[in-house]
Amino acid sequence: MLMKINQYTTTPLNILYAEDDLDDRIFFEKVLSEIPIRINHTIIKNGELLMKYLHTTAGPLPDVVFLDLSMPLKTGFECLAEIKDNDKLKTLNVVMLTASFTRGTDLEDILKSTLAGMGAMDYIRKTGDFKQFKAVIQQTLYKIFKKAS
């Protein structure tokens, strides 16, 4: 059972989402709009712009970065490695997203363990099932809230 996070939070969670696919960005925004938690979010269209944003932003760092694995200019793997190699950024919660692997395959297990070894907090396989994806994102946000508390 998912807990309603909003009853515990007084300040919004700051989410940064790096995704090159317009349909996936729209889907993610729709999911966020239906999660009962206060959220501020910024969407960035590729890995190069993500890293520029993280290196130059004067405001507070996001509470979580949702990062697509397959992006142009700089992949999610490259961004994750750069984040975890930077003293300012290495404590960021990074959740990797991909639609590239089928659930239950050996490749997915290898990918999960590789990303965990690189410092990713979690790995989420994108799905077209709105209810399922919303539940996974909400549960992930709850973990981040609990970690911050």
Query: How many folded domains does the chain comprise?
Result: 1
Cα separation, 70 vs 76, in Å, equals 6
- Report the Cα–Cα distance between both ends of the chain, in Å, rounded: 20
- Which residue range forms the structural domain that includes residue 14? 5-148
Buried-exposed string 28-64: b where 16+ CB fall within 10 A, e elsewhere: beebbeebebebebeebbbbbebbeebeeeeeeebbb
The dihedral built from the CA positions of residue 112, 140, 68 and 101, taken in this order, carries a sign that is positive
Phi, psi of 61, deg, nearest 5: -70, 155
Centroid of chain to Cα 105: 22
Each as own residue / partner, the long-range contacts of residues 126-130 (CB below 8 Å, 24 or more positions apart, any chain) are 126/24, 126/97, 126/98, 126/99, 130/27, 130/30, 130/31
The reported pLDDT for the residue numbered 4 is 47
The reported pLDDT for the residue numbered 6 is 45
> Residue 122 in 3-state DSSP?
strand
Q: What are the helix (H) ranges across 8-129?
A: 22-33, 47-56, 76-84, 106-118
CATH number, domain with residue 108: 3.40.50.2300
Please report, in tens digits, the pLDDT of each residue of the chain (149 residues total): 344 444 445 678 899 999 999 999 999 999 999 988 888 899 999 999 999 999 998 888 999 999 998 888 899 989 999 999 999 999 999 998 887 655 555 566 666 666 667 788 888 888 888 899 899 999 889 888 777 65
In this structure, are residues 54 and 28 in contact, taking their beta carbons and an 8 Å threshold? no
The reported pLDDT for the residue numbered 89 is 94
The reported pLDDT for the residue numbered 121 is 85
Cα separation, 90 vs 119, in Å, equals 8
The reported pLDDT for the residue numbered 67 is 94
